[in-house]
Each structure stands twice: as C-alpha cells, then as structure tokens.
Amino acid sequence: MASITLKDLVKTYGDVEVLHHVDGAIEDGEFIVIVGPSGCGKSTLLRMVAGLETVTSGEIRIGEKVVNQLEPADRDIAMVFQNYALYPHMSVRENMAYGLKIRKIGKAEIERRVQEAADILEIGPYLDRKPRQLSGGQRQRVAMGRAIVRNPQVFLFDEPLSNLDAKLRVQMRLEIRKLQQRLGVTSIYVTHDQVEAMTLGDRLMVLNGGYVEQFGTPIELYDRPATLFVAGFIGSPSMNFLPATAGGGALILGNGASLQGAGHASGSVTLGIRPEHLLPDENGPIRVSVQLFEQLGANTLVHGVLEGTETDVVASLPGHVSADPGTIMGFTAPAKDLHVFDPATGRRVEE
C-alpha cells in the first residue's frame, strides 16, 4: 500500500504539450477516478504513473520513492488494460502466475496465491482454459486476477469496462469497488463514463484538454463544480446553462425574469441549474416553453426553451408529467442549487 504524489507533471509529444502541470495527492488506499472526454490526457497520465510513458517534467512519487526513472516492473504496480492484454498463448493459470514466476516466487506460494485470487474472482473452473475460450466478462476477471495475485502497492485501471455490455459493466463496476475495498489497495481508474466515475471513486480528478478542472469527492463535484466544464460533465442529464446578469444579489435572466441567490457576483454571468433542481411552480420565475417530454418511468424529462429566448432548458420531474407542446411551465430553483460561473474564465463565482 502506498500513497501517490503527482507534482507539476508535464507531458509533451514533440512541441505539443498534452498535460499541463498536473498536481495531485492520492492517499494510501484511496480509489481515484480520472475522468474526462476523449483526448483529455487521462490515459497518458495513467500510463505515466505506470511507467509506460516518459515524464517530460515534474515528479511522480509512489510512497516516498520518486519513480520517474523506474521501469514499470520496478514500480510495484499492476495494471488492467482496456483490451485486457491477456497472453493468448498461456492458460488462465499461467497468465496469473506469470508475474510471480518472473519474481522467482516459490511454486507452492504461486499456486496458493493464484488459487486465492481465483476464489475471490470466481474463476476457479477456468484456470486451465486459454483466454480465447472465455467470455468478455471472464477475461476481465482474469485480467483483474493477474493484477491482484501480484499483491502490488497500486492498481491502475485503463477503461477496463468499456469493452463489456451495459449490464455486465454495471455488475463488474460493483465488483471492482468491492474488491478494492476488500484489498484496500491504492487505485487509479481511468474512464470517460461519468456514471462509472461517480459510483467508483473516493475522489474524482476531472481532466479537460490536459488541465485538471477539479479534484474532489463525487459529492463535492456535484454540489460545487469548480468550472463550467465540470458542471456540464458531471450529472445526467447535464446542467442547464443560462446567460444572466447579476447585481445586488439578484440574477436577471435573458428574458428579464429575476432570481434570488447571486451571492457576490456582479455583471454578466452564466447561471447553472441542474435539471433535477428545477421545481415546478405555477408562479416560478423560470418560465419554459415546452417542446417535448421524455418519459423514463420513474421521472420525466421536460425539454424546452426559456420563454422568449433560444436557450435550451431541461427539467427532470418525478413521476409522469405531460402537457401539449408550446405550453408554458413555470419553475423555481432554491438559491442553494444555483451555480454561478464567470463566462469569461469558466470558473465558479464563489458565494
């Protein structure tokens, strides 16, 4: 077990800087999810921790040791790849034992550890099969098994669930979480799926374009997104953004409607309201011209535009709701659920 420290990490390919001064402290036993859209540098960051990419500048520390120059083998890490990267010419047992064999661990001990991992992951019956004789979910388990037999200080996961079907993904997600809690190994998990990120991580690092947008617990990210990007990325359906003018504690929307709760903000701002925080209210200040409804069963998504403007608004209402297109619905939102951002910098305006 070990903590991981990222200090001022930079990665460049030729003249292109893909990671810009990333900092982060990961505590021993924590489950960290790095999340962001494609090409944001999240896999690169993970591969730098693994030692598969060189560090241009900055420092990576595992425990107390600076590992910048260490070979992947010497970092005491295990990694689960997106395509599992199982050795196709070896049986499941050999796949799992390979790392131990290289580290010259005794036969009996290898056998014991493989058996133990196989029991945890319930892959005992497949130990003598070749990877190609296994289903996707089973391969996924073998890849995890190969990681846990080594008993490493750090687990690295590179989008390990993206090749599975939706149902299996949900199931494996829970299993990974349980396994990590049981073993208590510091883990870094890369994904582009914000639901996966929210459910798995103790803390989330949101990356965008090589910058860390925010690093915090899922609830912090949900309740107090630091930037417009995080606000839009976390939560489903994503947050509504309404241009507004702030002054004297009030927010004036594009159509002249006024809301309380601007805090200290003034001037032109972007107001963020999550769809689930819009409460129906006949006399509410946010008046939406309804375009269509999406019935999800447990709740209904109301799509429309802010009356008199072109700004899209989505509201998520509990239960079944319906009305004719063109109807005007009134909404209100509690002041604590209003997020005010500076449109120029994209940063949150602190209350």
Partner 1 sequence: MLKRVHFPTSLLPYLLVAPQVIITLVFFVWPASQAVYQSFLIEDAFGISTEFVWFENFIYLATDEQYLDSFGRTIFFSVCVAVLSMSAALILAGFADRIVRGATTYRTLLIWPYAVAPVLAGALWVFMFNPTLGIFPYLLEFVGVDWNHYLNGSQAMMLVIFAAAWKQIAYNFLFYLAAMQSIPRSLIEAAAIDGAGPLRRFRDHIFPLVSPTTFFLLVINAVYAFFDTFGIIHAVTQGGPANATTILVYKVFNDGFVGLDLGGSAAQSVILMILVIAMTVVQFRYVERKVEY
Give the relative orientation of helices 166-183 and 107-121 as an angle to the nearest 10 degrees: 130
Please tell me whether residue 174 adopts helix, strand or coil conformation: helix
List 238's β-bridge partners, or say none: none
CA 210 to each of CA 13, 297, 329: distance values in angstroms, whole numbers, following the listed order: 13, 39, 41
Applying CB under 8 A, does 103 fall inside the site for partner 1? Answer: yes
Q: Which of 99, 218, 272, 304 binds partner 1 (CB under 8 A)?
A: 99
* 286-295 β-sheet, strand order: 279-280, 328-332, 286-295, 299-306, 312-318
Residue entry with tokens 């200090």 = 7
Stretch that binds partner 1, among 1-9, 86-94, 113-121, 192-200 (CB under 8 A): 86-94
> Token digits for 148?
């846990």
Applying CB under 8 A, does 98 fall inside the site for partner 1? Answer: yes
CA 65 to each of CA 2, 5, 74, 265: distance values in angstroms, whole numbers, following the listed order: 10, 10, 11, 44
Q: Give one DSSP letter per residue of 84-110, joined into a string.
A: ----TTS-HHHHHHHHHHHTT--HHHH
Choose between 53 and 223: whose C-beta lies nearer to partner 1.
53
Q: Which of 78, 92, 200, 234 binds partner 1 (CB under 8 A)?
A: 78
Question: Which residues inside 30-59 make contact with partner 1, applying CB under 8 A?
Answer: 50-52
Q: Which of 63, 81, 337, 351 binds partner 1 (CB under 8 A)?
A: 81
Stretch that binds partner 1, among 38-46, 61-69, 96-104, 289-297 (CB under 8 A): 96-104
Q: Would you say 241 and 274 are in contact if contact means Cβ atoms under 8 Å apart?
A: no
Q: Which of 1, 87, 247, 323 binds partner 1 (CB under 8 A)?
A: 87
Q: Tell me how far apart the alpha carbons of residues 349 and 343 are, in angstroms, rounded to a whole number.
A: 10
Stretch that binds partner 1, among 84-92, 169-177, 190-198, 336-344 (CB under 8 A): 84-92
> Token digits for 227?
């930037």
* Residue 168 beta carbon to partner 1: minimum distance, rounded to whole angstroms: 20
Applying CB under 8 A, does 73 fall inside the site for partner 1? Answer: yes
String of contacts with partner 1 for each residue 328-347, x by CB under 8 A: --------------------
Applying CB under 8 A, does 71 fall inside the site for partner 1? Answer: yes
Applying CB under 8 A, does 93 fall inside the site for partner 1? Answer: no
> Token digits for 233?
């990325």
* Residue type at position 337: D
Give phi and psi for 6, each to the nearest 5: -110, 125
Question: Residue 249's CB: how many other CB atoms inside 10 A?
Answer: 13
* Residue 163 beta carbon to partner 1: minimum distance, rounded to whole angstroms: 12
* Residue 340 beta carbon to partner 1: minimum distance, rounded to whole angstroms: 44
Choose between 87 and 325: whose C-beta lies nearer to partner 1.
87
Choose between 88 and 319: whose C-beta lies nearer to partner 1.
88
Choose between 149 and 288: whose C-beta lies nearer to partner 1.
149
Choose between 50 and 313: whose C-beta lies nearer to partner 1.
50
Applying CB under 8 A, does 133 fall inside the site for partner 1? Answer: no
* Geometric angle at alpha carbon 191, from 45 and 90, rounded to 5°: 85
Q: If binding means CB under 8 A, how many residues of this protein chain bind partner 1?
A: 24
Q: Which of 1, 28, 54, 102 binds partner 1 (CB under 8 A)?
A: 102
Choose between 81 and 222: whose C-beta lies nearer to partner 1.
81
Please tell me whether residue 81 adopts helix, strand or coil conformation: coil
Q: Would you say 48 and 36 are in contact if contact means Cβ atoms under 8 Å apart?
A: no
Stretch that binds partner 1, among 95-103, 167-175, 320-328, 339-347 (CB under 8 A): 95-103
* Residue type at position 202: D
Interface positions with partner 1 (CB under 8 A): 50-52, 71-73, 77-79, 81-83, 85-89, 98-99, 102-103, 130, 146, 150
